[in-house]
Amino acid sequence: MKNLNNRKIAVVVMGNENGVKSMFARRCTDYAEATVFDYNRVGSLDALQQKIAKGGFNTVIVCVATPAEAYMNAAKQLASAGGDVIVATMCHPEKLDLVG
């Protein structure tokens, strides 16, 4: 995260684990200036992609806090859209059993 100073960064948090989402967002903004988007509050993947495009972000960091299929698919779609995308799955170890 140290080489992110000259980038316009969007941090996208997904899932139902609010504690994990806020901790991850806080960590990202500790190291670089970033704008945080909560996928659940934005409403849809299309709306999120529009916000990222309109904002001119060149780096997207995605935190999947709940390893549900819908969140994992949305993260994959964000990653396949191009640009620099970092995807991290952060959750309690027992919840990783849900990931196929």
- Model confidence pLDDT, tens digit, residues 2-31: 566 678 889 999 988 888 888 888 888 887
- Average pLDDT for residues 59-85, to the nearest whole number? 83
Return the bridge partners of 12, or none. Answer: 37, 62
Report how far residue 26's alpha carbon sits from residue 15's, in angstroms, rounded to the nearest whole number.
Answer: 16
pLDDT of residue 69: 85
- Report pLDDT digits (tens) over 74-90: 888 888 776 677 877 76
**Model confidence, pTM:** 0.79
- Average pLDDT for residues 52-70, to the nearest whole number? 87
**In this predicted model, which residue has the larger pLDDT, 52 or 1?**
52
